Chains A and B, each alone.
Chain A
Amino acid sequence: MDGHFVPPDVIEVEGLVKVYGRKGGTRALNGVSFSVPKGDIFGFLGPNGAGKTTTIRILSTVLAPTGGTVRIAGHDVHEDPMAVKERIGVMPDEVSFYPTLTGLAHLQYYASFHGIPRAAAKRRAIDLLGQVGIGDVARKKVKTYSHGMKKRLALAQSLLHDPELLIMDEPASGLDPQGMRYFRDLIRFLNGKGKTVFLSSHLLSEVEQLCEHVGIIDRGRIVAADSIANLSSKMSAGAPIILRVTAEGITDEAIASVTSISGVTGATRTANGLDVTVQSGTDVGPDVSKALVLAGARLKELKTSERSLEDLFFALTKGGRV
């Protein structure tokens, strides 16, 4: 023991395999492994058809895995699905409800599965509908709801039984900017109250803003699972670095002078100046600024560009088929 508190993993996935149909059917997941520590907001990324939804359906106990193990809060989804179901709140991508039931009736129906007594269930449902901002339409039929209202109802139903893990599939898809911001703030708030969040999303900026750790899945395999910072530095190792130069008065001579520096492999003009491609492991920043200043350019800023999550995503999924 090194004295550090290591939170237990809420999700432990090991060697997960899912084959649809009989032998020789579609292999949707091919040995997926990752883990999500307690209290984390974990971003789950991947192009369409990579296996995201299949993974989420297995985590939600809807689909049985073909091989491998999945444990949630220490309970195997296959061996002890009931214990898992009690601990998870699922917000599916498709926000689909019974069109002729009211929002309140939905929550009361779902609460009855969790053994919440009727009166308490009604109180809790009304509270939750108010909290997610659709208290005023609680007694209206769901078929009259807008997409945003349905998303909010989907969130409310996932919180009914106060689960420790929230599994959210594209929670912000189809929402307007205010709605997206609302969801982002709410996820942070819930995480602040100790809930672990498993967040699958197409919106990379969303994930970047919310998540510390991400898993990237492609063609049924996890191609990366780590913190965004670690992934970024790992990806950068050995790869060329871009120096982003902001300057005025860059002449062709200045560019020629820069490209002649040892370690520089190329330079292209940008709107504000110049992007200089540099071999990894070389520190040519001072040489570049010196060359530019000597060639008469008025240098304003020079910085090493960081790779965004989007860059990582595209690099890892070979162009990403989002």
Chain B
Amino acid sequence: MYQDLKFAASDGVCAGLSPVSGALFKKFCPRFIDGFAVTIELLVLSSILGFLLAVSLVLGRMSGRAVLSWPANVLVYCFRGTPLLVQLWIVYFGIGSFGADGLGALWVFFKNPWAVGLLVLVLNTSAYVSEILRGGLVNLDKGQMEAAQSVGMSWLTAMRRIMLPQAIRIAWPAYGNELVLLMKGSALISTITVLDLMGQTRTVFARNFDLNTYLYAAVFYLILAGIITVFVSVVQRNFSKSRLS
């Protein structure tokens, strides 16, 4: 059903673009659109899952309990301190090299580049987002937490209802930057054989060595960056509106 919808959309877009597209684009248009869809899927999934994980990470880091804060801190430090490409290759080629014998039931997951790519993108972006959220939280007045707890809220409730909503508002522009960085980083999953926009582009380039291939991909990525920027600023405007009322 969803696949059919995608094919229909791809056909529609390619037919619509065909009067204005050059020979190269006309030939490979379905590939570009297909890759574009994969990139968008991964982006939506990894930003949502990454945000949820980031909230858990930042709660762990701020909890003041070493059992929770230490693992969270180590995870964030490792993912922020190494290149995304290294992380992808460690999980896909490194862990994957143990094969079906070494990994057993986990092999189903690790042999799937799409799933590995999603996992690494989620972990990577959650590390950066949790750092952004932490920046927002430490800038809030500590008195709010004390006030919330003194009226009987638990620490977690106070975080959920009082602290985090404000921290997210403060951190929103920085979070918007991180979304763009995630979008750009997602191009790297083409190195673990996922046919996202970048993967399709490299396949097309390998067939004709026409540099325009990359320029078409650039246009698609710029469109995506534009969409993210508009989305971020619309939400930002809503934030400032509700603050006035």
Bound pair (A, B): no
Residues of A within 8 A of B (CB): none
Residues of B within 8 A of A (CB): none
